[in-house]
Amino acid sequence: MQQVRAGLAPDNFINPKQLNSLEQGNLKEICRLLSRILDDIGKQYSIGTQL
């Protein structure tokens, strides 16, 4: 919302320093889960292993 108020186009950037400790923990857990999901997808479809 700060970007919109400043007349800038909004983006998806989240500044972790502006989050409380609970939100920071949730963000870290989400990133870990996404990493595992992407790794599993890569293994399932052999992404990045064949040229």
Cβ neighbours, 10 Å, residue 24: 14
Q: For position 46, what pLDDT does the model report?
A: 81
Q: For position 3, what pLDDT does the model report?
A: 85
The set of residues, in sequence order, having a beta carbon less than 8 Å from that of 34 and lying 6+ positions away, is none
Based on the number of CB atoms within 10 Å of its own CB, is 10 exposed (0-12), middle (13-18) or buried (19 or more)? exposed
Model-level pTM greater than 0.95?
A: no
CB 47, CB 41: distance < 8 Å? yes
Q: For position 34, what pLDDT does the model report?
A: 97
pLDDT per residue over 1-51, tens digit each? 788 899 989 898 889 999 999 999 999 999 999 999 999 998 888 876 554
Q: For position 37, what pLDDT does the model report?
A: 96
Domain ranges of the chain: 15-51
